[in-house]
């Protein structure tokens, strides 16, 4: 499985709240950094996914893979807070076939309304 395929699996599992897949492709010491929050373990990630009130789907995504990094630039349509279309960019780090961590970038204005 390529690093891009791992990221695609992660995205599908995240939006589908597929915890078994998350546990199989995310490192135990996973980290996440975004403009509004941080996560510091796979366990915290699982708790976040289970409790997240947000609902949405990806409508478009482009990937660039180089070395242990995958950059994903994508668009999501959200149907539960916030509602509407959002452009996002993530940089994933893959180590030993698992997602070690990722950093998310987006305009937070829609989330702060």
What does the pLDDT read at residue 84? 84
Residues 91-113 have pLDDT tens digits of 999 999 999 999 999 998 877 76
Domain count of the chain? Answer: 1
What does the pLDDT read at residue 74? 97
Residue 69: domain span: 3-112
Residues 5-46 have pLDDT tens digits of 999 999 999 989 999 999 999 999 999 999 999 999 999 999
What does the pLDDT read at residue 113? 64
In angstroms, rounded to a whole number, what is the distance separating the alpha carbons of residues 60 and 45?
Answer: 24
Burial class, 18, CB count within 10 angstroms (exposed 0-12 / middle 13-18 / buried 19+):
middle
Which CATH number belongs to the domain containing residue 106 in this structure? 3.10.450.50
């Amino acid at each position: 499985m390529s690093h891009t395929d791992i990221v695609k699996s992660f995205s599908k599992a995240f939006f589908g709240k597929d915890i078994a897949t998350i546990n199989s492709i995310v490192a135990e010491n996973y980290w996440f950094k975004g403009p509004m929050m941080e996560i510091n373990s796979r366990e915290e990630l699982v708790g976040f996914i289970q409790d997240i009130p947000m609902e949405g789907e990806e409508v478009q995504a482009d990937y660039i893979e180089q070395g242990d990094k995958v950059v994903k630039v994508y668009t999501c349509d959200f149907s539960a807070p916030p509602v509407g279309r959002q452009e996002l960019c993530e940089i994933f780090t893959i180590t030993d076939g698992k997602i070690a961590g990722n950093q998310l970038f987006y305009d937070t204005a829609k989330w702060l309304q």
